[in-house]
Structure 1
């Protein structure tokens, strides 16, 4: 099982890493929310352990953005918040489980094993197929006409968003909100540039044109 830990507390982070590496071969540790998002969107982790309060982006925001981007692995939230409304808020943000600090490591391990079993079941339905386009959400591989296409993390996010809403028109504002978030200053020119780059990669040596521009409305991926 491949695990990503996002925890900014140095002492706790080192301790969790020590315990995790005794059980699992592949464990990465980051110390802020932006790094957690970037790692998770570019590498197929089975389970993420996110601290609620982190620099740059909190765990709730990371969870929300990852779910919007198509991440289907398990998410376990670590936090000192133990009120019922906080737990509900975390679950509605896309978290699968919730562990309050301080906690016993035996309970952490048990919850990770449960999330791993759940993630394996979810990965069985992780392939999106549209015409000759195949998107593997567990590995982030994109295949067009039997050829592997290399995409940047943002291009992959954009393609996945369009594919999950195939035949529906997505405005530029909707795309910006889903991928970058409403707090980021992203111009419509940026969206046009990403669409242009994505089209070149998808349509090279391929007679089918997947992404259509709907003038004045936005873009859609055609089934």
Structure 2
């Protein structure tokens, strides 16, 4: 896998838009910029995806079947998600913008809009809300993922990881100190593939541990019984 491929894994974007044609156009524009994109066409399924906590940015239409955009923003903030929220709407009045921001949105884009402006706002939100995006590596203690050269190491020892093992370690690193459920890990690593069973998470954590831990090295991956896994927080 090349360095270009890993760029697609750095920023994950969720589009929640009931206009399927517009959703496809936004998806195409974002994928051309090497973003990883998922789409929901109604508020309930959008909320289900959003609460997985796997997205850096969510582009959310105001008017949706089921839950509306401000409702999704409020739910995301109540769940303390770090996801940046961009509301799309035909409402351009000041009071509507105030309501959008008060619901938890981080930015607001009025339809119709130029895709160049959408991209600029997504880039700005990505940099603002994910400090790792401005770096060339993810680091936790002596574990390092180099996002440019697509190499991994622990101390001076290089780790020969498969693409799936890489995504697993990447997700653990991005959420160090937080307990991740098996379903959260499954959704991030396997990108919502429907034919992958939760047991695969345990299998790949075992594979990753074998490569990550040399004799005498402490295992940084903590098993949280009945829930999932956590990359141990760094000691002060």
TM-score of the aligned structures, taking structure 2 as reference length: 0.54
Alignment of 1:1-223 (within 5 A): 1-121=11-131, 139=175, 142-143=178-179, 150=181, 201=226
Alpha carbons 1:44, 1:140 under 8 Å: kept: no
SS of equivalent to 1:76:
strand
Alpha carbons 2:53, 2:81 under 8 Å: kept: no
Q: Which runs of 4+ in 1 moved over 3 A?
A: 138-143, 149-153
- Runs of at least 5 residues in structure 1 that lack an aligned partner in the other structure: 124-135, 144-148, 154-199, 203-223
Shift of 1:98: 0.2
Alpha carbons 1:80, 1:100 under 8 Å: kept: yes
- Runs of at least 5 residues in structure 2 that lack an aligned partner in the other structure: 1-10, 134-171, 185-224, 228-236
SS of equivalent to 1:42:
coil
CA RMSD of aligned residues (A): 2.7
Q: Which residue of 1 aligns with 2:209?
A: none
Cα deviation digits, residues 157-211 of structure 1 (max 9, x gap): xxxxxxxxxxxxxxxxxxxxxxxxxxxxxxxxxxxxxxxxxxx858xxxxxxxxx
Aligned length: 140
Cα deviation digits, residues 119-164 of structure 1 (max 9, x gap): 11499xxxxxxxxxxxx8x649744xxxxx63667xxxxxxxxxxx
Separation (CA, whole Å) in 2 of partners of 1:140 and 1:30 = 28
Distance 1:20 1:150, change over 3 A: closer
Separation (CA, whole Å) in 1 of partners of 2:35 and 2:109 = 23
SS of equivalent to 1:81:
coil
Alpha carbons 2:57, 2:83 under 8 Å: kept: yes
